[in-house]
């Protein structure tokens, strides 16, 4: 409870004489005595929460603080999930890649795109290979063509140092693979 109190002052922690009060439905009550605001909060079984400590007088609101904190935490959790979902994965290819290796790495890129991640596809050049950037471009275009059903390149291939990069983005929302969906008739059908 003390960690919560650091973010917002609630109830007895509010040590000012007067506050500008907002009721539980968002309406302005006006500037009233803090004791009177506390009494109103108790009557409605709510908390008096200081939401604008820098205002003169401070702004307080009547609300269920526990529920407010819970909703805030849920929103933060959702935001963290969204940030994690947009993680950029990376796959590296070589100019002289074998067909089987190309297929395996392309399948990895496909899996990342299905999960909703952006994928940075990198072609690594060695020595004189760098004098033939068209070989790297050919591989990147081949990757883009083989994954056209699930992803699109964010831009054209770009050379950075000894590498050539291209970012692939998913074209549609990720598919959740938590558990298979069954209809009511399948779930209740007797096994033969």
- Domains delineated in the chain: 2-68 (3.10.20.80), 86-170 (3.30.110.10)
Of the candidates 60, 65, 52, which has an alpha carbon nearest to the alpha carbon of residue 21?
A: 60
With the C-alpha atoms ordered 46, 51, 53, 56, is the resulting torsion angle positive or negative? negative
Instruction: Note the pLDDT of residue 115.
Output: 85
**Bridge partner list, 49:** 10, 61
pTM for the whole structure: 0.48
Bridging pattern class, strands 151-153 and 28-33: unpaired
What residues form DSSP beta bridges with 120?
A: 90, 167
pLDDT digits (tens, 9 = 90+) for 139-159: 999 999 998 898 888 888 888
Asked if 157 and 137 count as a contact pair (C-beta separation under 8 A), the reply is yes
Tens of pLDDT, residues 26-68 = 888 889 998 998 998 999 999 898 888 888 889 999 998 888 8
Q: How far apart are the first and last CA of the chain?
A: 57
Choose among 171, 151, 165: nearest CA to 120.
165
Which tens digit of pLDDT belongs to each residue from 68-125?
889 888 988 888 877 665 678 899 999 888 889 999 999 999 998 888 888 999 999 8
């Amino acid at each position: 409870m003390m960690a919560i109190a650091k973010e917002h002052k609630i109830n007895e922690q509010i040590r000012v004489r007067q506050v500008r009060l907002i009721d539980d439905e968002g309406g302005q009550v006006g500037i009233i005595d803090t004791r009177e605001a506390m009494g109103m909060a108790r009557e409605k079984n709510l908390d008096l929460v200081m939401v604008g400590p820098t205002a003169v007088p401070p702004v307080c609101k009547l609300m269920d603080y526990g529920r407010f904190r819970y909703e805030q935490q849920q929103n933060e959790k959702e935001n963290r999930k969204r940030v994690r979902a947009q993680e950029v994965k990376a796959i590296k290819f070589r100019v002289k890649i074998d067909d089987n290796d190309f297929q395996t790495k392309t399948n990895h890129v496909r899996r990342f795109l299905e999960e909703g991640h952006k994928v940075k596809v990198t072609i690594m050049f060695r020595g004189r290979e760098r004098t033939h950037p068209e070989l790297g471009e050919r591989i990147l275009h081949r990757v883009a063509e083989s994954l056209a059903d699930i992803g699109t390149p964010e831009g054209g291939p770009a050379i950075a140092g000894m590498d050539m990069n291209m970012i692939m983005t998913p074209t549609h929302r990720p598919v959740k693979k938590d558990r298979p969906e069954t209809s009511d008739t399948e779930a209740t059908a007797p096994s033969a």
